[in-house]
Amino acid sequence: MRMSFAKGVSALAISSILAVGCQTSDSSEEGSADNEANSSLEKSTEEKEQPSESNTQEEEEHGHDHEHDHSHAEDEEAQQIYEGYFEDSQVEDRSLSDWEGDWQSVYPYLQDGTLDEVFAYKAEQDEEMTEEEYKEYYEEGYETEVDRIVMEEEGTVTFFEDGEEYSGEYTYDGYEILTYEAGNRGVRYIFQLEEEADQAPEYIQFSDHSIYPTEADHYHLYWGDDREALLDEVTNWPTYYPSEMDGHEIAHEMMAH
């Protein structure tokens, strides 16, 4: 009787252990299956969210093409303006700060022959004029006794001529749009002397091929006491480049235009 009870207890214990084991095994398999399902779902979601390499490449190429087209259009418009073709509505007022700096006349470089390569280059590009004819044309255009000019942002302009210097304070007096015989146009930006100053001209007029605010890299300058008469001057246009540039740098800059 005792043995039967013990056997019964043992059988019951073994049965319980097997049952627990089966449950644990089933639970582990279910957990493993759930993990695999979750992993598969996450992977599928990542694949959907992550753009394909081909799509990304296409988007980048499209962006580059758009930037290139936009830049090309801007370059064409800038070149048209530089050559004197623009609409009145494009012209904007400018301040003297656009010409701020220390500037030198290019006339001495014409006289010493440094700019001869520029005239030779122009004659190669345009057979209508010879190198000598170009030099004569620019001789008249560049001629000046003012070999240096310093422009300060607040309006002070200092002229250096024959070893002497004189200054004046200038304020903006508007702009004038001029039409030339060739059919292209230009803009004169005009500044007037605030108070009478020894030797300083009443008016200075800038022309630098730009028609809206921008820092000038060179310019043509007209000066005198008669505003309207200066607007008629189209044969003598003293030209100035930054004083830190040497003659050869200026020559190469001219040929680049």
H or E element, residue 37: helix 2-49
Q: Hey, what are 113's tokens? A: 């022959």
What single letter denotes the amino acid at residue 165? E
87, 122, 147, 244: CA torsion to nearest 10:
90
Share of the chain above pLDDT 70, in %: 72
How many other β-carbons are positioned within 10 Å of the β-carbon of residue 48?
8
Q: Hey, what are 96's tokens? A: 């003297």
What single letter denotes the amino acid at residue 238? P
- Render pLDDT for 162-217 as a digit per residue (tens, 0 to 9): 999 999 999 999 999 999 999 999 999 999 999 989 899 999 999 999 999 999 99
The rounded distance, in Å, linking the Cα atoms of 99 and 207 is 11
Q: Which pLDDT score is estimated for 127? A: 83
Residue predicted with more confidence, 67 or 152: 152
DSSP state of 209: S
The rounded distance, in Å, linking the Cα atoms of 78 and 74 is 6
Q: Tell me: pLDDT of 83 over 90.
A: yes
Q: Which pLDDT score is estimated for 39? A: 44
pTM, entire model: 0.73
Residue predicted with more confidence, 51 or 111: 111
- Render pLDDT for 21-49 as a digit per residue (tens, 0 to 9): 434 344 444 444 444 444 443 444 444 44
